[in-house]
Amino acid sequence: MAKTTGYPATAKYLKGSPSKIRPVADLVRNKPYTEAIAILEHMPQKGAALIKKVVASAASNALNKNKKLGEDMLYIKEVQINEGPRMRRVWFRARGRADMLVKQMCHISVVVDEIVRSEA
C-alpha cells in the first residue's frame, strides 16, 4: 500500500478467493463506518465477515490514536483486496491421474479516515 493518510489495518493470508471478496468490498468503499458495518453484518458471503473484521480493526486503530474521534466521524477511505499465495493440493482421480486443487488466499487492507465537515 502506498503512503496514505488515515488509519490502516491489514489482514494477511486469509483463506478466500480475491475474486469472490472484491464485489463485497465494492459495496462498502467510501461509505461511513457505521453504515459499512451494518451492510457487512447482513451479508451472507464469507468475504463480508473477513472485511468486517479488518474494518473494525482499522476503526479501533483510529479511535486509539485520536481520542477526539467517534465512530460516527469515520468513513472507509480505501479497501484493497490483493492476491496472496496459493496452496496447491494433489487431487487423485480415476485411472491413476491427478488434478491440482488450488486453494487461494488473499490480503485485505483497509484505511479509514475522518469525515471532513465543510463549514460554509
CATH code (residue 41)? 3.90.470.10
Is residue 99 one of the residues assigned to a domain?
Answer: yes
Contacts of residues 23-27 at CB distance under 8 Å and 24 or more positions apart, as own/partner, are: 23/47, 24/48, 24/51, 25/51, 25/79, 25/80, 25/81, 25/108
Where in the sequence is the domain holding 58, given as residue range(s)?
A: 7-114
Q: Between residues 51 and 69, which one has the greater pLDDT?
A: 51
d(CA 60, CA 83): 25
Is residue 21 one of the residues assigned to a domain?
Answer: yes
Is residue 95 one of the residues assigned to a domain?
Answer: yes
- Predicted confidence band of residue 20 (pLDDT cuts 50, 70, 90): very high
Is residue 1 one of the residues assigned to a domain?
Answer: no
Is residue 119 one of the residues assigned to a domain?
Answer: no
Is residue 2 one of the residues assigned to a domain?
Answer: no
Over residues 39-58, mean pLDDT:
96
Structural domain count, the chain: 1
Over residues 31-45, mean pLDDT:
96
Is residue 120 one of the residues assigned to a domain?
Answer: no
Reading the block at residue 27, the C-alpha cell is 459495496
1 pLDDT exceeds 90?
Answer: no
- Predicted confidence band of residue 116 (pLDDT cuts 50, 70, 90): confident
4 pLDDT exceeds 80?
Answer: no
Is residue 32 one of the residues assigned to a domain?
Answer: yes
Beta bridge partners of 99: 91
Other beta carbons within 10 Å of 63: 17
Reading the block at residue 13, the C-alpha cell is 493470508
Over residues 58-71, mean pLDDT:
92
